[in-house]
Amino acid sequence: MTIHLSDKYPKIIRDLFRYDNNFGPSNSFKNLNFPFDYDLSKLYEEASSFDWIGPGKTKSLEKIDRILLYKSKSESNIIGIPIVQQKHDEKEEVCFNTESYPEWNNFLKNIKLLGGVLLITMSKMSPDGFIYPHKDSNFVAHKIYFPLNWPRGCYFKIYKNGLVDFSDLKPKIINSGEYIHSVINDSKEERIIVSIFVDWNVEPWKKIFEETF
């Protein structure tokens, strides 16, 4: 699908969305089901009322606020992940106080019970926000992206692999460490997405990965 963006976005992003129509069968992303229940609308509602602070409220070009939700004790040297808000003690696993957010407490409890979770961050992108084409830190190439909402006009584009359709609000495994990608919010609403890094050598993630790819 060709997307014509207005010139409020940088040319390299406009060109990527307009001219890169070279899609093939892709192994760059796949759907994933978490092996536990959650209430997405409650997660979204609670996350919307988090104490978000960051460059989205200043003059940042990217218009993104980020929250570090969880960092495994074993993973103390994660490089290349810009976190704006860090309310955590290095000794603590839970970085953001979710005490008054029952659905998030539940989600974090359930996902940690699986084991092998390294890092969980959340990003809120304001309308007109964008991320330049890039590859993520590849300390874990495959990242789980879990959208809490996906307003019409939000796009996640992978170079030569097309658009990742998050409108189903399903979590996906994306090889963002090896594939160039760019993200925009060309809607009028804020968009919130959760990024999860796991150790794919640890069960049940190993099994999930093998079944997915």
* Sites of contact with Fe ion (CB under 5 A): 136, 176
Rounded to a whole number of angstroms, the minimum distance from the CB of residue 164 to Fe ion is 11
Task: Name residue, tokens 């959650």.
Answer: 38
Rounded to a whole number of angstroms, the minimum distance from the CB of residue 101 to Fe ion is 25
Task: Name residue, tokens 């963006």.
Answer: 5
Tokens for 74, please give them.
Answer: 């074993």
| 69 or 98: CB nearest Fe ion | 69
**Start-to-end C-alpha separation, the chain:** 24
Residue with the shortest CB distance to Fe ion: 136
| 136 or 190: CB nearest Fe ion | 136
Q: Tell me how crowded residue 213 is: count the other CB atoms within 10 A of its CB.
A: 12
Rounded to a whole number of angstroms, the minimum distance from the CB of residue 146 to Fe ion is 14
* Spatial CA neighbour of 129 closest among 173, 65, 84, 177: 65
| 5 or 193: CB nearest Fe ion | 193
| 175 or 176: CB nearest Fe ion | 176
